Structures are given as C-alpha cells and as structure tokens.
Amino acid sequence: MKAYLDLLKDILENGSQKGDRTGTGTVSVFGRQIRFDLNEGFPMVTTKKLHLKSIVHELLWFINGDTNIKYLNDNGVKIWNAWADENGDLGPVYGAQWRNWNGEGIDQLANVVDQLKNNPNNRRIIISAWNPSVMPDTSLSFSENVANGKAALPPCHAFIQFYVADGKLSCQLYQRSADVFLGVPFNIASYALFTMMLAQVCDLELGEFVHSFGDVHLYNNHIEQAQLQMSREPKPLPTMKLNPAIKTIDGFKFEDFELVGYEFHPHIKGAVSV
Ligand SMILES: Nc1nc(=O)c2c([nH]1)NC[C@@H]1CN(c3ccc(C(=O)N[C@@H](CCC(=O)O)C(=O)O)cc3)CN21
Ligand SMILES: O=c1ccn([C@H]2C[C@H](O)[C@@H](COP(=O)(O)O)O2)c(=O)[nH]1
C-alpha cells in the first residue's frame, strides 16, 4: 500500500489549507490517481487496522439498493448514522442510484453485468451515482433534505467505469471528494472487492483498480494520525477469497468473503467530520 502512503505524503507536502463544509478545515490537493493490480493481493491499508466487516456490509448494502441504515445497524455498522434521519433514511444515495437511477427503474448495476458478459469491448460500461436532481440544499439539515426527496450527502465516489482487455476486468473510480484518512481506505477496499465480485460473476480474470481523485484532503484533526501511519512500515497484502459458488451479483452474502493473511499495525482513531 505504498501508493496510499505516497498520497498522504503528497498531501502533507503539497497541500493547501482549505476550509470545508464541515467546518473542520483540511489540507487538500486536486487531481490525483493511484492504482492497484488486483493480482498482487487485496489492497487493504496495513499501516492501521481496517474494519473489513463495515466495508463488506456497506458494499452489500449498496448492491441491495438499500438507503436506510437499518441493515447496517443490525450488523453493527455505524458509519452512516450521523447523516440519517429519525427513520434511518438517507434519501436517494448510492444504492438508489445504482439500482434504480432517478427512481426511473434504470438498474445500472444489472446493465453493467449484462455488458461485461455480452459486450465487454463496450466503452460505456458505467455506473453514475451522480444525479443533479437529488442534490441537497446545504442551507437545510440532512433530515430536511431527506424529507424533500433529496440525498443527505451527494455521492463522493460518483462515477465508475469498467474495462475488459485480455479477459481481465479493470475498474476506474472517480471520487470527487476524498477523506484520505477515514474514507479512502474504505473506498479502495470496497471497489477492489466490487471488481472481484463482478469478475467472478462475469467469468473474467482480475485486472486493476484505478482510483482517480478530485479534492483529496486530510482533515486538520487527522494530521498526527497520518504522520503516525507514514512512520510505519507497510506489511505484505492479504488475499481475499470469494465463495466460488456465487454466480450472480445479487447472490453474495457476508459469509461469502474471507480475508486471508491480513497483517496490520494497530488501529488509529480519528473523528469523522459531519
Ligand atoms: N467526513 C467524512 N468522511 C467519510 O469518509 C465519509 C463521510 N464523511 N460521510 C459519508 C461516508 C461515511 N463513511 C465513513 C464514516 C465513518 C468512518 C469511520 O468512523 N471509520 C472508523 C471506524 C470504522 C468502523 O466503525 O467500522 C475507522 O477507524 O475507519 C469511515 C467511513 C465514509 N464517508
Ligand atoms: O465514501 C466516502 C464518502 C465520503 N467521503 C468524504 C469526503 C468528504 O470529506 C466528505 C463529504 O463531504 P462533501 O462536502 O460532500 O465533499 O466525505 C469519503 O472520503 N468517502
């Protein structure tokens, strides 16, 4: 995970101080890209312990088209609680856009599976979570926006393209806004896993996960945590095993994933800016 540590260093060395919506303030750079060959191990950050359970449940929750935190909370995952309304709703966030874009019955994920299987040379194999018609009004609260049919937060990982060459599946994500200490380690593992799941159900080998960033920032209250990570030696990457019996993208359950050989340095706490 040298690419991740290099990104932290780049932000600390080249970043500008920038205010932000949450009021915390960040050190920020614009326009960066990191890439991971998925044949070289599963890209889990090793310089702090990552909570894979939250990552897997969140991904299954997106795939289910779910936008209420109940499923996450029932499985002990609290990472979306701060933005949900009193009923647990987040409005039309990722799951809604992936499986039922704009409420129009457009299932982008099913279309991706179909194209990967039947038309892999296609240059239009895309999922867009970005939907201008559900952008929140930032002068209102999260729950007021949800009540108005808007998303509590606009998507950060917004645009995903898949690519097949030589029988290998690659994925590129455009992330418009990236919390490099808390969100990015989750996002890398999540999209690596998503690519592996799609490769399995579409009978493809693994290619790369390419992660492109817009505003990639370190919150000012995460600087010491980032420096501690940079002082640590990365460990070899683990291997992710998927239950080979699963042949549909909707067929995966939590028990179908096994991470083997994850070596890590101790967890590092950091407050999330809401
Ligand atoms: N400021 C901010 N950063 C984010 O990364 C982020 C948001 N907001 N809002 C929407 C989602 C929610 N995400 C989150 C929220 C919290 C954690 C977090 O607290 N992580 C801790 C605990 C992990 C756990 O409980 O499983 C960590 O140490 O990684 C991670 C991702 C990613 N997104
Ligand atoms: O998957 C995610 C979701 C969110 N983030 C971060 C990026 C920003 O720090 C905040 C969102 O705030 P905006 O003002 O809407 O940009 O959440 C992430 O890194 N990964």
For the annotated binding site for dUMP, the residues are 21, 123-124, 176-179, 187, 217-219
According to the model, what pLDDT value does residue 111 have?
98
Our answer on whether the CB atom of 162 is closer than 6 Å to any ligand 1 atom is no
According to the model, what pLDDT value does residue 47 have?
98
According to the model, what pLDDT value does residue 189 have?
98
Q: For residue 21, which of 148, 188, 152 has the smallest C-alpha distance?
A: 152
- 16 phi, psi to nearest 5 deg: -105, 145
In b/e form, how buried is each residue of 51-86, taking b as 16+ CB within 10 angstroms?
Answer: ebebbbbbbbbbbebbbbbebbeeeebebbeebbbe
Residues contacting residue 15 through CB under 8 Å, at least 6 positions apart: 26, 27, 28, 29, 217, 218
Contact present, 211 and 175 (Cβ < 8 Å)? yes
| pTM: predicted TM-score of the whole model, two decimal places | 0.98
Our answer on whether the CB atom of 200 is closer than 6 Å to any ligand 1 atom is no
What ipTM describes this predicted complex? 0.98
Per-block mean pLDDT, blocks of 10 residues, the chain (274 long):
97 98 98 98 98 98 98 98 98 98 98 98 98 97 98 97 98 98 98 98 98 98 98 98 98 98 98 98
Which entry of 1, 156, 226, 237 is annotated as an active-site residue?
Answer: 156
Ligand closest to Cα of 214 equals: 2
Residue 156 a catalytic site member: yes
Q: Which CATH architecture has domain 2-260?
A: 2-Layer Sandwich (3.30)
Ligand closest to Cα of 188 equals: 2
